[in-house]
Each structure stands twice: as C-alpha cells, then as structure tokens.
Amino acid sequence: MAPAVMRDLTDSGERMAIDESADNENERRVIDEFRDELRDTASAIDVLLGNLRSKSVDAAEGLSALRRDASNMRSQAQAMAVPMIRLVTHRLDEYLAELTDLSPAAIDEIEVFISKIEALAEGETVAESDVPVVLRALPAKRRDDIDFGSIVKKNVEFLLVVPEKAMARIVERELAACGYRTSLAHDGFEAIEMIVRTRPDMVIASMELGLLSGVDLGCALAAMPVTEGVPYAVLTSYDWSNPKLKGLPTRASLIRKGPHFGDDLAETLSRFGIT
C-alpha cells in the first residue's frame, strides 16, 4: 500500500478516535447532569413524603405531585443510557398510577423506591444477573379493588404488553387476585428490552402492538436463546384457526378475550406450571 494511503488511513483512524472520545465525554457529562437532577428530585420527594406523613400537605395534592415527579423521572431516564434507573423509575411510575390513597403503608413503599433511585443516582451498580432480584424486591402495585388481606403474594412476575388500558386493567386484576406481580410495556420494542433485563416468569401480549404484532414478538422471543424459554401467550379475540396467528410459535399459548378469558388464562398458567 502506498505511503500516502497509509498516512491517510492513520490520520482517519486518529480523527475517529478523537471524535469517539469527545462523544463519550459528552455522554458522560449529560448522564452526570441527569444524575444530579435525579438526586434533587428524589430529595424533594423525600421532603414531600415527610410532609404527607405529618399531614401538613393535602393528600390529593401530594399524590398529584408524586405522579408528576415520577412521570418526569421516567421520561428523562428513557433517553439515557442508564438501564437500571429506567427500570426502577418505570416501576415507581406504575406504582403511583394505581395508587388512590396515601396511607402510611403506601408512603413507606414509595420511600423504598426513592431510596433505590437515590442509591442509583449516587452511582450504585447492579449486575445484570441481579436485576430481576432487585426489581422484585421493590413494592408491588396496590389495587384498591382487591382485598389483599386474604391473598398470598407470590414472587411470580408477569410482563403485560397490552396497549389497551381497559384490557390491561382486567388482566392485571385477575393476576393480582392470584397474588402475582405485574409490570407493563407499551409496545413490542420496549417489551424485548424489559424481558431480556427483568426475566419475567411469563409474558402476555396483545395481538395488535403497532409495528410489531403479538405473533412477531412471540417469534422474536423464540428466536433468541436468552428469551426462548420465557412462557408466552397472545391475548386476542381470534381462535387458533385464524390465519393471522400463522407463524406463532407452537410453544406459545392463546388467551381469548370474552367468555373464554378465565378458562384460557387458567389453562395457560397450568400449562406453564405457574402456581
């Protein structure tokens, strides 16, 4: 190779290294600024929780402020390369969305979330293998329409990829009544990352998910060694004979909406040995 060409390649490589270094430095700076903001928000929430305990702040106003702060933290985290913070703020946002009463027990549980967020903002690291354990140690969502006093809570988690809010609430309620934990993903793309990182015991997805269908998601999970063993079910009004279900992995289950829902859900749980 000619010396001039060699020099050009060398110069190009050095420029690429400099550009990459600058990009990495900018990314670190942005993340550091985000962590600072996260600490400030968590600190403000700590103060608010103290005021809620002392009843110096109206409960309805306090819950509205908590939801707003949690939603902002979750939205900001989504744009950052901070997967563990994304997952924890996601869980806090979900928890507050279902909350209607700021009882002392609920305030205690919110503090658990905030303590974990503060630790992560300070630089605490969590090994990928420990992510599911850490997330399941966080408080489960509360539901006022269920009497949890007689329900045995189980360390079994479902990821629901169900964009329809009304349907998602129905499925969550049925699972919560059995003592199971649930989390939600908005679409198939978000679901794939959450499944890989959080290792749910089962995934239930709607047939219609936008760009990806429930069949597409099932095929993607079945094709990857890291997710091929995750129990999977499609929630749909179709029967097995419908051509739209062609291609769905044979290992997947079907949960039909309507009068078959309860029986199909029970059969699916039994089939995958989820008790």
Residue 143: pLDDT band with limits 50, 70, 90: confident
CATH code: domain 1-142 is: 1.20.120.160
Q: Which stretches of the chain are assigned E, i.e. beta strand?
A: 157-161, 181-184, 202-206, 232-236, 253-256
CATH code: domain 143-275 is: 3.40.50.2300
Domain boundaries, the chain: 1-142, 143-275
What was the pLDDT predicted at 149?
64
Q: Hey, what are 171's tokens? A: 């499925």
The pLDDT of 203-209, averaged and rounded, is 96
What are the tens digits of pLDDT across the range 211-228? Answer: 999 999 999 999 999 999
What was the pLDDT predicted at 118?
97
The pTM of the full predicted model, rounded to 2 decimals, is 0.86
Residue 8: pLDDT band with limits 50, 70, 90: low
Contact 132, 198 (CB under 8 A): yes
